[in-house]
Structure 1
Amino acid sequence: MLQYPQIDPVAISLGPLQIHWYGIMYLIGFAGAWWLGKKRAHRLGWSDESVSDLIFYGAVGVVLGGRFGYVFFYNFDRFVQEPLWLFKVWEGGMSFHGGLLGVILAMALFARKMKVSPFTVTDFIAPMVPIGLGAGRLGNFIGGELWGRPTDLPWGMVFPHVDNLARHPSQLYQFALEGIALFVILNWVDSKRPARFVVSGCFLLFYGLFRFLMEFARQPDAHLGFIAFDWLTMGQLLSLPMILAGVAMIQWGRRRAVFDGPSSE
């Protein structure tokens, strides 16, 4: 079995100021999305300034949606007891599914500003999102959080700050699937110039499937445990609507006779 390398979660300390690796991973994710967005923006005839605005909208959606999602999906009881805890972001706590809802709302507002279909925007940004997802999962691993369930597989890893059991390094599994595999799939689909809705639908479908499967290796949240059937987790429950919506969007997009290119907007 492997040993967790005990990486210091603080990357840089400047007096009282501490910069955590997790925060750096967020910056890497946004910077990577901005770089890729600039390379792809010519398809829609957007300027570099438009891409920068898009990333800003997305960043606000991720942070606000992620925090609200974590509080309301995973810790609603604490919020009821202590409403101001919602604003204690320094204590940590972000939810992907909440962040997704925040980004969807942010993209709708951006689309209104640009006078284009919201799905034109989501199709554009979807292939860029896995950069941030992959970086975030590496941040989880560096921080020694969101560890996996016990395993007897040869690559099981002991997280000493948790216990002495060999566990799935589920953060790395999710990095491989949500970061690398999802990036390859979405950019391949996007390269085929599919109809509108398809790229967004593929994001929802494949992320939902990957997250649903990885939850079987990931330790459930201690304060929630299993939601039902002694195996269903909150992450799986929240991923099911994504899978269904993804399938519906792909089918709807495939029924469109022609690809809605940038000239149609």
Structure 2
Amino acid sequence: MIILHQMNPIALQLGPLQIHWYGVMYLLAFAACWFLGRHRIRQGRLPGIDEAAYGDLLFYGMLGVVLGGRVGYILFYDLQTYIQNPLDIFKVWQGGMSFHGGMIGVFVAAAWWSRRHQVRLFDTMDFVAPLVPPGLAFGRFGNYINGELWGKLTGGDWGVVFPRALPAPLDILDTTALRAQFESGALNAFARHPSQLYEVALEGLVMFAVLWTYSGKPRHRYAVSGLFAVMYGVFRFAVEFVRIPDVQLGYIAFGWLTMGQLLEVPVILVGLYWLWLSRRSPIVEPAPAVPASQGKPLAP
């Protein structure tokens, strides 16, 4: 089955104000993280931390994702363009976020928060890891709505035709003309892998199911973070084989290695190292936060 991608990236327009689906996906990602995290906090899964402190962690994490993701994309993928057009740095609704930059941003935010609340960093990271995949799923679906980061040609009678990926002069056809060309079968040869949806399934749904279930019981410190890093690295490395590399970079080496794959190598290695560390690390047991008034006489 071949599908013509004609999704409007703008969710709502109120006069000059435009609300993009990409931004909505980020809001949904943070909302999912809040509700899932609060559920685990109530179970005492981050020892000694209450919902108010978790709210601080989520806020710092949001800053880490947005700032780290944007800076990471600029440094890893398109530095020259942003040097020439520095104001484009703020156009986040057009896409251009790096998972690896966002991951570094979250790590820094978690380290800052953990130090303030006297929590071991990897107790925090192990708590956060299962909450991330839903956000990855929403983010990748936002890429799909934007019609960006598409895959290679399928070469068969299935896939998705992305108008922005069509060669000239097909790429400038209006909606009606494009639909007519599609219904005539003229665009079938341009059907591509919906690599964004592959990532929704693997990095989002599969990783969430595995990590949420695995972390449902007390685990050795580092274990959940290590499993997250290894799973993400392997899934992302695999999907890159059917995804078109960023046009400004192309393939890094061997005629097939992409920047995304290159960045996954240290992620996988670090994840394996964390799993190795977990073998001799203690199991972190739940410990609900104690309200400040407990254990103290109430004021008259």
* TM-score relative to the length of structure 1: 0.94
Correspondence for 2:20: 20
Give the alignment partner of residue 153 of structure 2, picking from 150, 154, 162.
150
Q: Hey, what does 2:270 align to over in structure 1?
A: 245
RMSD: 1.8
The residue type paired with residue 217 of structure 1 is V
Give the aligned partner of residue 173 of structure 1.
198
* Residues 193-241 of structure 1: per-residue CA shift (max 9 Å, x gap): 2100000111111001100000011111011000011100000011111
Larger radius of gyration: 2
Per the alignment, residue 253 of structure 2 pairs with 228
Indicate yes or no: 2:84 matched with 1:59.
no
Tell me the secondary structure at the aligned position of residue 18 of structure 2: strand
Contact map agreement 2:150 2:192 (CA 8 A) in 1: yes
TM-score, normalised on structure 2? Answer: 0.83
Extract unaligned runs of 5+ from structure 1.
none
Residue 54 of structure 1, CA deviation:
1.2
- Select 2:76's aligned residue among 73, 78, 93: 73
Q: 2:36 maps to which residue?
A: 36
Residue 156 of structure 1, CA deviation: 1.6
Q: CA deviation at 1:85?
A: 4.6
Question: Of 137, 147, 150, which aligns to 1:134?
Answer: 137
Counterpart Cα distance in 1 of 2:159 and 2:93: 31
1:212 counterpart residue number: 237
Amino acid at match of 2:31: A
Contact residue 7 and residue 143 of structure 1 kept, 8 A: yes
> Aligned residues: percent identity?
52
Contact 1:72/1:79 (8 A) holds in 2: no
The more displaced of 83-92 and 18-27 is: 83-92
Find the counterpart in structure 2 of residue 200 from structure 1: 225
Deviations 1:168-210 (CA, angstroms, capped at 9, x unpaired): 0001100000100000111122123210000011111100110
Q: Secondary structure at the match of 1:119?
A: helix
Shift of 1:251: 1.1
Aligned-partner Cα distance in 2 for 1:97–1:154: 34
Q: CA deviation at 1:48?
A: 1.6
Q: Which position in structure 2 is the counterpart of 1:4?
A: 4
CA 1:18 to 1:82, structure 2 compared with 1: closer, same or farther past 3 Å? closer
Deviation sequence 1:65-112 (CA, Å, 0-9, x none): 011001100012234445555445465421111111111101101101
Q: Is the 8 A contact 2:22 2:93 kept in 1?
A: no
For 1:68, the aligned partner's letter is V
Match of 2:215 in 1: 190
Secondary structure of the corresponding residue to residue 216 of structure 1: helix
The offset of 1:157, in angstroms, is 1.5
- The question of whether the paired residues in 2 share the 8 Å contact of 1:197 and 1:250 is answered with yes
2:89 & 2:191 partners in 1: Cα distance?
34
- Per the TM alignment, residue 45 of structure 1 is displaced from its structure 2 partner at its CA by 3.4
Letter in 2 for 1:230: G
The number of aligned residues is: 263
Question: Post-superposition shift, 1:262?
Answer: 5.1
Tell me the SS of whatever aligns to 1:12: strand
118, 123, 131: which one aligns with 1:120: 123
SS at match of 1:161: helix
**Secondary structure of the structure 1 residue equivalent to 2:278:** helix
Task: Give 5+ residue unaligned stretches, structure 2.
Answer: 167-186, 290-300
Distance 1:32 1:89 in 2: 21
